[in-house]
């Protein structure tokens, strides 16, 4: 019996040993498989004991931390991660911790340590490099900030790849055209179709010159939104080249300048118009007279100039006040504007003084007829606050080049004619005649043959 028992025990021990060995082999095989898998991921694996010492570190973790030959067991975690992270790793309740991993060459990277075995004495940690994630987050933040800035500033961006003709539009590009982002595929012809026909040739020519490398593209143009409103856009673009100078892309920036254009228009109007009546002022009159006289010389035609001085206006101001006087002037200004032809101009050049530039007059008779209509418009009753006001005027007319051979002479002879009309009584139109300038050497009178 004793021998049989011994044999049985020996057999049992052999079987147990064989089973344990097989189990250990399977465990080691699985560990090798697990380590192989982990080495091909972006995360490293480390085992750290409760004293903060490295028990074991995988090849991936060692490489990440700057130890290509492996991390020596017993290395303190604070050497690899600093005091803050190592203290957190030593706490049994810590499941993850963010910090900085330090390399022996002085380099570093943002790291995340995740506990894979929270209940074990020696805890297994996964090491993750957060550099890519932080860079991606930084890029996303930068993109969001750029997009927000573009939206707030009303700036759209487009990017054309020259080889493939692929065109990118930012969302703000669609907003600048009055449509929702993605309302249609980003194509140049969509933008061109919305540009005012008067502006299209200039824009297309500038863009073509830019594509040829002649100069940067920089144009202002009008676009019509689907709701019918008109907006001003400014587009600038240029080529981006490779190191050899070959053009690769054209990048453009577009922004809404409607408010700027409206401000420019208001400023120009204020500079060239009388603030009370809205009529052109003296500066506008000077420019118009120069323009019309130049055209008259080219076309061999006459230009008539009528000087208008109101009579019986001062008593209205004195009796009823400047407020009523301003209303009278405004009413007269509107009437004069309605009488003249589309290409003519009436300007206010003084308190109660006006001038009319009449282009294309054939003779004194035609000029006098137009001046007569101006006079009738002035003399018509003006009702204000239940009171009928009546104003008269004296008008002097001269013609270039028939009666005056220069700009200065035209103005001076029209002025002389106006004072002659005033001397003969109110409601008079007087055309300049040479006898009005007798003894006045400043007025060069053209010869009759002219």
- pLDDT single digits (tens) 397-416: 999 999 999 999 999 999 99
Report d(CA 166, CA 248) in Å as an integer.
Answer: 11
Look at residue 331 and tell me whether its pLDDT is greater than 90: yes
Query: Between these two residues, 306 and 82, which has the higher pLDDT value?
Result: 306
| The pLDDT of residue 187 | 86
- Percent of the chain clearing pLDDT 90 (strictly above): 48
- Biggest CA–CA distance in the chain, Å, is 167
Residues 158-174: what's their mean pLDDT? 89
Tens digits of residue pLDDT in 57-102: 988 899 999 999 999 999 998 889 877 677 777 676 668 888 888 8
**Of 195, 229, 261, which residue is a domain's last?**
261
For residue 289, tell me if it sits in a domain: yes
| The pLDDT of residue 294 | 93
Same domain (yes/no): 162, 245: yes
Rg (CA), the chain: 46
Same domain (yes/no): 254, 285: no
Same domain (yes/no): 58, 94: yes
| The pLDDT of residue 256 | 93
| The pLDDT of residue 450 | 40
For residue 10, tell me if it sits in a domain: no
Residues 374-388: what's their mean pLDDT? 93
Same domain (yes/no): 301, 409: yes
| The pLDDT of residue 348 | 96
For residue 313, tell me if it sits in a domain: yes
For residue 337, tell me if it sits in a domain: yes
Same domain (yes/no): 164, 283: no
DSSP class of residue 437 equals: G
Mean pLDDT rounded to a whole number for the chain: 84
**Of 221, 238, 261, which residue is a domain's last?**
261
CB neighbourhood size of 63 (10 A): 16
Same domain (yes/no): 286, 431: yes
- Percent of the chain clearing pLDDT 70 (strictly above): 82
Domain assignment of residue 233, given as a range: 151-261
Report d(CA 255, CA 173) in Å as an integer.
Answer: 9
Look at residue 436 and tell me whether its pLDDT is greater than 90: no
Tens digits of residue pLDDT in 10-41: 555 565 556 555 555 665 555 555 566 555 56
Look at residue 159 and tell me whether its pLDDT is greater than 50: yes
Same domain (yes/no): 254, 378: no
Lowest mean pLDDT among 113-122, 135-144, 322-331: 135-144
Q: Which CATH number characterizes residue 49's domain?
A: 3.30.450.20
DSSP class of residue 436 equals: G
pTM metric for this prediction: 0.55
Same domain (yes/no): 409, 299: yes
Q: Is 198 exposed, middle or buried (0-12, 13-18, 19+ CB in 10 A)?
A: exposed
**Of 227, 261, 295, which residue is a domain's last?**
261
Q: Which CATH number characterizes residue 410's domain?
A: 3.30.70.270
For residue 312, tell me if it sits in a domain: yes
Look at residue 8 and tell me whether its pLDDT is greater than 50: yes
Rounded to 5°, the CA angle 115-120-124 comes to 35
Same domain (yes/no): 291, 429: yes
Number of domains in the chain: 3
Q: Is 123 exposed, middle or buried (0-12, 13-18, 19+ CB in 10 A)?
A: buried
For residue 408, tell me if it sits in a domain: yes
E strands within 366-405? 382-384, 387-389, 392-400
Tens digits of residue pLDDT in 241-252: 988 889 999 999
| The pLDDT of residue 151 | 58
Same domain (yes/no): 221, 288: no
Torsion angle in degrees (nearest 10) through CA of 324, 329, 335, 339: 170
Nearest to 423 by CA among 309, 271, 319: 309
Q: Give the chain's length.
A: 450
| The pLDDT of residue 111 | 87
Residues 370-394: what's their mean pLDDT? 93
Nearest to 305 by CA among 144, 430, 444: 430
**Would you state the structure tokens that stand for residue 100, as one six-digit string?**
């900085």
For residue 24, tell me if it sits in a domain: no
| The pLDDT of residue 190 | 83
CB neighbour list of residue 71: distance below 8 Å, 6 or more residues apart: 46, 54, 57, 61, 62, 65, 80
Look at residue 5 and tell me whether its pLDDT is greater than 60: no
| Beta pairing class for 428-431 and 392-400 | parallel
Same domain (yes/no): 256, 345: no
Contact (CB, 8 A) for 416 and 397: no
Q: Looking at beta carbons, which pairs linking 171-175 to residues 24 or more positions away fall under 8 Å?
A: 171/147, 172/147, 173/254, 175/151
Look at residue 442 and tell me whether its pLDDT is greater than 60: no
Tens digits of residue pLDDT in 205-221: 999 999 898 899 999 99
Report d(CA 238, CA 366) in Å as an integer.
Answer: 56
Alpha helices in 154-216 (DSSP H): 171-176, 188-194, 200-211
Same domain (yes/no): 242, 346: no
For residue 108, tell me if it sits in a domain: yes
């Amino acid at each position: 019996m004793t021998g049989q028992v011994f044999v049985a025990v020996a057999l049992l021990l052999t079987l147990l040993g064989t089973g344990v060995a097989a189990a250990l082999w399977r465990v080691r095989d699985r560990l090798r498989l697990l380590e192989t898998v982990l080495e091909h991921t972006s995360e490293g694996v480390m085992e750290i004991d409760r004293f903060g010492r490295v028990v074991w570190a995988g090849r991936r973790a060692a490489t990440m931390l700057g130890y290509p030959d492996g991390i020596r067991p017993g290395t303190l975690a604070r050497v690899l991660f600093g005091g803050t992270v190592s203290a957190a790793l030593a706490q049994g309740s810590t499941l993850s911790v963010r910090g900085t991993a330090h390399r022996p060459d002085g380099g570093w990277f943002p790291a995340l340590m995740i506990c894979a075995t929270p209940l074990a004495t020696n805890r297994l940690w996964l090491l993750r490099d957060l550099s890519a994630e932080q860079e991606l987050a930084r890029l996303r933040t930068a993109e969001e900030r750029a997009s927000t800035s573009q939206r707030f500033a009303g700036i759209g961006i487009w990017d054309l790849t020259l080889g493939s003709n692929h065109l990118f539009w930012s969302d703000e590009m669609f907003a600048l055209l009055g449509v929702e982002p993605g309302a249609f595929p980003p194509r140049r012809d969509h933008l061109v179709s919305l540009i005012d026909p008067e502006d299209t040739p200039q824009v297309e020519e500038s863009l073509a010159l830019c594509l040829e490398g002649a100069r940067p593209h920089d144009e202002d143009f009008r676009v019509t939104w689907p709701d019918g409103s008109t907006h001003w856009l400014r587009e600038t673009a240029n080529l981006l080249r490779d190191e050899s100078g070959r053009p690769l892309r054209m990048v453009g920036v577009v922004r809404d300048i409607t408010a700027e254009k409206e401000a420019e228009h208001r400023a120009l109007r204020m500079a060239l118009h009388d603030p009370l009546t809205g009529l052109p002022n003296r500066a506008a009159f000077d420019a118009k007279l120069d323009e019309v006289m130049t055209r008259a010389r080219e076309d061999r035609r006459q230009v008539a100039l009528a000087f208008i001085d109101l009579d019986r206006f001062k008593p209205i101001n004195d009796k009823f006040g400047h407020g009523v006087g301003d209303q009278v002037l405004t009413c007269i200004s509107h009437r004069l504007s309605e009488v003249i032809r589309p290409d003519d101009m009436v300007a206010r050049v003084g308190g109660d003084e006006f001038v009319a530039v009449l282009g294309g007059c054939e003779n004194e008779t035609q000029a006098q007829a137009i001046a007569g209509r101006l006079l009738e418009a002035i003399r018509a009753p003006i009702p204000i606050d239940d009171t009928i006001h009546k104003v008269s005027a004296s008008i002097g007319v001269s013609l270039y080049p028939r009666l005056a051979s220069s700009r200065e002479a035209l103005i001076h002879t029209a002025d002389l004619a106006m004072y002659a009309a005033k001397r003969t009584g109110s409601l008079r139109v007087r055309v300049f005649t040479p006898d009005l300038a007798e003894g006045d050497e400043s007025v060069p009178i053209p010869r009759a043959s002219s």
